[in-house]
Amino acid sequence: RIVGGLETQDQGTVFLHDQELKGPDRRRGMVFQSYSSFPWLTVRDNVKFGTRYRSDVSPSEKEDLTDYYLNMVGLSKYGDFYTNRISGGMRQRVAIARTLASSPDVLLMDEPFGALDAQTREYLQFQLMDINRQEKKTIIFVTHDVEEAILLADRIIIFSARPARVVKEIRVGELLPADERRQGSADMKKFFSLREEILTVIRSEYQSAIEAE
């Protein structure tokens, strides 16, 4: 929320491309855990809304971009549906497509799959990996799911309890290449070893937080 400009940090500064960030702007797009589509708009118009403030593309290009991102998230056939008529997983895909259509430099995702059932969650995790391979965006993804973090991340940053501080950084890509994770061919022994390493850190921090109360 600080990177997105929705909250102000107590200390320090946040920079993007050597510019200090103050408040929200189009360079950062956010996908929330709660469904953030506009129920009075169709799926297509929700996605097209992401292009609304883009002065770098013409009206016809905005239509093309809308089609492109609808297709990317697999919703081309649902363009005329209103979002209160589609599933939660579809609504999250609408939110992702709308955010990508705004062409942010950084995509911020705050537990976007947390409210979804296991099958939909897994489907969107792999779809996000494919989208990232195509778009090559910087993504900051907040999750409490350790396996989700290992599957999706290049780097995992583990925070302590409040006041939050960085406890550990793990470079996942050096241990489990992204292509192998995306294709389901990752070394599972390394995967579970990394999972246990992360859980050990989290358990230690949790215990410290309890003892400090």
Q: What residue segments make up the domains of the chain, in order of their start?
A: 15-212
Q: In the predicted model, what is the mean pLDDT of residues 81-85?
A: 93
**Kind plus residue range of the DSSP H or E element containing 181:** helix 178-183
Q: At what angle do helices 59-72 and 88-101 cross, to 10 degrees?
A: 140
Please give the Cα distance from 12 to 172 (Å, whole number). Answer: 27
Beta strand extents in the chain (DSSP E only): 15-16, 19-20, 28-31, 106-110, 138-142, 155-159, 166-171
Rounded to 5 degrees, φ, ψ at 34 are: -75, 150
* pTM confidence score: 0.85
Kindly report, residue by residue over 153-211, the tens digit of the pLDDT: 999 999 988 778 899 999 998 888 888 888 888 888 999 999 999 999 999 888 887 87
Quick check: 150 and 156 in contact, CB under 8 A? yes
Please give the Cα distance from 14 to 5 (Å, whole number). Answer: 9
Edge-first strand order for the sheet with 138-142 is 28-31, 106-110, 138-142
Q: What is the DSSP letter of 76?
A: G
Out of 43-47, 107-111, 179-183, give the one with best mean pLDDT: 43-47
Quick check: 142 and 135 in contact, CB under 8 A? no
Q: Which residues contact 74 (CB under 8 A, 6 or more apart)?
A: 93, 127
Kindly report, residue by residue over 140-154, the tens digit of the pLDDT: 999 999 999 999 999
Quick check: 176 and 191 in contact, CB under 8 A? yes
pLDDT at 14: 85
Q: Which fold has domain 15-212?
A: Rossmann fold (3.40.50)
How many residues can be counted in the chain? 213
Kindly report, residue by residue over 46-63, the tens digit of the pLDDT: 999 999 989 999 999 999
pLDDT at 42: 97
**Closest to 116 (Cα-Cα) out of 100, 95, 133:** 95
Assess whether pLDDT exceeds 90 at residue 94.
yes
